[in-house]
Chains A and B, each alone.
Chain A
Amino acid sequence: MNSGRSVFRLLCGLAALAALALIGSNVAVILVRGAKSLPEALTQPETLFALVTSLKTASISTVLCFVLAVPTAYLLTRTEFPGRAAVEMLLELTLSLPYIVLGVSLLILFSSPAGKALKEAGLPVVFSQNGIVLAQLTVNLPFAVQLASTAFRRADRKLEYVAGLLGAGEARRFFTILLPLCRHSLAGALVLVWSRALGEFGATLMLVGVTRMKTETLPANIYLNVSANDLDGALASAFLLLVISGASLAAASRFTRVDKRWGRYV
């Protein structure tokens, strides 16, 4: 019995070691070589442009994403309406689609007369930074809805019923009970969505292309540098992405910790 368990543990250990080696070696390459190339890369205007563009577009798209995702998640988890299952399936479907496919459909949508009308109205999407925001938003929206829905489903419905009987209308129940109860999960989700937006490439590539100093995000900068055989420049940008992602993961885990003042109640 014990030898059987030891063999099982050994096999699990070997698999874990292989997984760790695969992930760790990638991170190690970026950390070691990227850190070395970073000082020089930071003097390049392209890298700085890509960094600023990434931070700016990811922040805007994340805010827009939550403005749309939170009410959607609320409706999905707190109301009954015909076709709810279909909406949920649609969201899950887009979540599992390759991002490049979403990018193609966005390109077709915004190359249409409506897209051209938008461009004439001063809001170009294709081959512009607005398109980067839109691509990140489209890719992240189902993910954000799912995270917010999970947070809302985990919140105790009884508290909302009690609040209702205490005189709180639906909107006040949402703002005074549900949102504060889910604030840690939502803040963690916000950071994760922002981090994903920062690394988005597939849909962005299709919708806005990769043009130096125009639609150049950090992933686009990596792509352009590799294409130009500048591996050091690519690794420096990869290093920047890795550091930002690491910091946002740390922030997310800090946000998801419950408020200690609340005591054992949560």
Chain B
Amino acid sequence: MCEPVLQLKNVTLRRGSFSLEGIDLALAKGEILALLGRTGAGKTLLLETAAGFCPPSCGQVLFYGREVCSIPLHRRNIGYLYQEYSLFPHLTAAQNIGYGLRMRRMPREEIRQQVEQLAGRFGLERVLNQYPGTLSGGEQQRVALARALALRPALLLLDEPFAALDPVTKRQLYGLLRQVREEFGCAVLFVTHDFAEAQGLADRAGVLAGGRLCGVAPAAGLYSAAWPAPAREFLGLVEQQKGESAHDANRAV
């Protein structure tokens, strides 16, 4: 079996009064994994830990078998997309997309070509010279995604990337993300509240509750997996089960 792209081994991390406890997770090359959980469950913190922004107090975060925090930030080959996109406000859309290529000291002409190619794929040709503040939410999202993908990262970490988008834009971006996975073979770990999104886009889904990972299951069988109580409650399976039990009891009577 090939080495996982990302592996979290018994990761524990405290931030203020909140803590992530004993997280075990592995992500294979080309795999899309959705992390589900309530607000405050620790999804963003887990993503930041996976990127190596927050060193764990206990356990290991391995990127291709190496401690992620031991790799200098600029050599990690990880793409990160914040929920609010975090575009550089002082750079145009084209400069944002080409930023990573510029940091790699790629020739100017080559950067221009690659930016245009990415802009074409993400439908951003008309906004390349605009600043992020003048773009719509969907455009900002696509610029951020194009920027993250320009360097063809081995791992893409997405923090609720589709939360603020309309259904049409969402569907377009789901397709784009699948295309990107096929083409670049990058592993994707994304955080979402949306069960349908997790089922439609991910290969596997995990549920995070109170800083603990309740388990990971195939996304297609999200509702039929054997989850522990906190995950069942979050997924609404407890009410469903109660309803079914009541229905069965009525039928028996």
Interface residues of A (CB under 8 A from B): 156, 158-159, 161-169, 172, 176-177, 180-181, 259, 261-266
| Other-chain contact of A180, B79, B86, B90 (Cβ < 8 Å) | B90
Chain A residues near B150: list those with CB within 8 A: 166
Query: Which 7 A-B pairs have CB atoms at the shortest separation, nearest pair first?
Result: A263-B133, A265-B133, A164-B73, A166-B100, A167-B103, A265-B89, A263-B134
- Known contacts A161-B73, A168-B99, A265-B89; can you find 9 more A-B pairs with CB under 8 A? A162-B80, A163-B88, A164-B73, A165-B74, A166-B151, A167-B151, A259-B90, A262-B90, A263-B89
- Cα distance A172–B88 when bound, in Å? 14
Q: Are A165 and B133 in contact (CB under 8 A)?
A: no
Give the contacts of B90-148 with A (CB-CB under 8 A): 90, 99-100, 103-104, 131-135, 147-148
Determine the residue in chain A with the shortest Cβ distance to B132.
A265
- Smallest beta-carbon distance A262→chain B, Å: 5
Q: Are B76 and A165 in contact (CB under 8 A)?
A: yes
Q: Are B82 and A162 in contact (CB under 8 A)?
A: yes
| Other-chain contact of A266, B51, B86, B89 (Cβ < 8 Å) | B89
Determine the residue in chain A with the shortest Cβ distance to B92.
A261
- Cα distance A129–B150 when bound, in Å? 54
Determine the residue in chain B with the shortest Cβ distance to A263.
B133
B87 within 8 A of A: yes
Give the contacts of B181-223 with A (CB-CB under 8 A): none
- Smallest beta-carbon distance A146→chain B, Å: 24
Q: Are A163 and B99 in contact (CB under 8 A)?
A: yes
Q: Are A262 and B99 in contact (CB under 8 A)?
A: no
- Smallest beta-carbon distance B150→chain A, Å: 8
Q: Are A165 and B88 in contact (CB under 8 A)?
A: no
- Cα distance A169–B88 when bound, in Å? 16
B35 within 8 A of A: no
B231 within 8 A of A: no
Q: Are B103 and A168 in contact (CB under 8 A)?
A: yes
Chain A residues near B79: list those with CB within 8 A: 165
Task: Give per-residue flags for B15-59: 1 if the beta carbon is below 8 A from chain A beta carbons, else 0.
Answer: 000000000000000000000000000000000000101000000
Q: Are B89 and A161 in contact (CB under 8 A)?
A: no
- Smallest beta-carbon distance A106→chain B, Å: 39
B8 within 8 A of A: no
- Cα distance A158–B157 when bound, in Å? 14
B62 within 8 A of A: no
- Cα distance A14–B104 when bound, in Å? 63
Q: Are A181 and B90 in contact (CB under 8 A)?
A: yes
Q: Are B147 and A166 in contact (CB under 8 A)?
A: yes
- Cα distance A255–B27 when bound, in Å? 48
- Cα distance A156–B83 when bound, in Å? 14
Q: Are B73 and A165 in contact (CB under 8 A)?
A: yes
Q: Are B100 and A167 in contact (CB under 8 A)?
A: yes
- Smallest beta-carbon distance A70→chain B, Å: 18
Chain A residues near B76: list those with CB within 8 A: 165
Q: Are A161 and B53 in contact (CB under 8 A)?
A: yes
Q: Are B73 and A177 in contact (CB under 8 A)?
A: no
- Smallest beta-carbon distance A60→chain B, Å: 30
Of the listed residues B73, B147, B151, the one surrounded by the most CB atoms of chain A closer than 10 A to its CB is B73
Of the listed residues A164, A167, A263, the one surrounded by the most CB atoms of chain B closer than 10 A to its CB is A167
B69 within 8 A of A: no
Determine the residue in chain B with the shortest Cβ distance to A180.
B90
B228 within 8 A of A: no
Determine the residue in chain B with the shortest Cβ distance to A156.
B86
Chain A residues near B100: list those with CB within 8 A: 166-167
Q: Are B133 and A166 in contact (CB under 8 A)?
A: no
- Cα distance A261–B135 when bound, in Å? 12
Q: Are B74 and A159 in contact (CB under 8 A)?
A: no
